[in-house]
Structure 1
């Protein structure tokens, strides 16, 4: 079937042909492998290779009461939608307080998540947007920082959970840059835990996180099915996390 260009399906949508998607996927994959912190290239790779996985995720959301409500209401996780002061005022150990602590300690913002552009379905575009916006929440629940070690662990969990090729690529090739000691801990302790948690956990897109801020991280982990993190001491210094 010949590709017929169509107009934008949602704000920011860029219609592309199958060939254009292949070229974008190849180029973004090379750029992301060269520099894993090129979040724009990682985003393009996710959109151009994730069509089937996004459809499966949408189906899971449609067949879950809470997931379906999220699809209908389409909440967004951005600074403009968060009660930052209120979350900071929550007790230590609550999901909202620890999420704020994660953002502050790692100097990241939910507003840096790229908007969908190359997904040729308006509902699927929201699904991948939601996935991106809950990514930092996964860091919080998994207790992982934003350095390469932490990102690889989260990517293993997300690859099992979502089936997105982009997550699998990051999970497999991310460890290449790690030193021997971190690589050993990653392969013997962190990856097995992340994979097991991903397999036993409920679909992470079926949780209305905005209604769970006052819940403790521990109880939310139990509700979702995430195993407690391994007892590996991590130290934060000079804006990098290291295994102690």
Structure 2
């Protein structure tokens, strides 16, 4: 398969995201009619409500319901110098693009070293993010892919562990920052999986998430790949990142990222 970046950029029609297309627009694209999108949104939402572990359905729901939010993110990226460069170059965050051995050898205080430690300690890899399929416009599809692939960078910068509670806390940040409907669904459905004690803890993190999302620099307009050598505290200060309050990280709470998680 051709590189993901090429699969988006070869088909992109310009800086302004256009109307949905019926033909295949990029390698992983699965064109759907408006009726099929409605059916998919309903079935995926019902599935996620009954089984929150179905990351594939959560990803599909995000793609068929996120067009307006993706357009807003795209517009913000176009208006930002770094965001515009990201849209033009379309970098991807995959195993064949990131040298993890290099990141592991960086200084202890660097963003890249912290990211590598996060990924290694939880057994994650960059290819764990599913490819976008149901977003018709290739420009918006790339925005969704970039959003999805940046998730572990945000875990690292906000210092949020990948526990169920931690994922929900980060989803609150994403909900306020990106306005993607699927982030809101995750933020409100996710607490159903928490114990009563964890729900009380969540009340500490919701106010933090609201502050952090409002104060942070546009998270979609950062070329994270060029910041690996940067001391993480310097990067947090530049992006106005407020680190999360300490979350319990006992092993029984940890959940792994699934291949098709959003």
* TM-score using structure 2 length: 0.86
State whether structure 2 residue 229 is matched by structure 1 residue 214.
yes
Q: CA RMSD in A?
A: 1.8
For 1:48-67, what aligned pairs fall within 5 Å after superposition?
48-67=64-83
Q: Distance in 1 between matches of 2:125 and 2:227?
A: 19
Whether the 8 Å contact between 2:21 and 2:136 is mirrored in structure 1 is: no
CA contact (8 A) 1:92 1:98 kept: yes
> Gapped runs of 5+ residues in structure 2?
1-19, 256-262
Aligned with 1:35 (options 45, 51, 63)? 51
Contact 1:113 1:133 in 2 (8 A): yes
CA shift at 1:55, angstroms?
0.3
- Partner of 1:52, secondary structure, is helix
Return the match for 2:248 from 229, 234, 243: 234
Equivalent position SS for 1:234 = coil
> Deviations 1:179-224 (Å, cap 9, x if unpaired)?
122111111x211111110011121110000001111222222211
* Helix, strand or coil at the partner of 2:150: helix
Distance in 2 between the 1:233 and 1:157 partners? 15
> Taking structure 1 as the reference length, what is the TM-score of the superposition?
0.92
Question: Per-residue CA shift, 1:5-38, capped at 9, x if unaligned?
Answer: 7320111211111111111111111222233332
Partner of 2:182: 166
- Number of residue-to-residue matches in the alignment: 237
Runs of 4 or more, structure 1, over 4 Å off, are: none
User: What are structure 1's unaligned runs of at least 5 residues?
Assistant: none
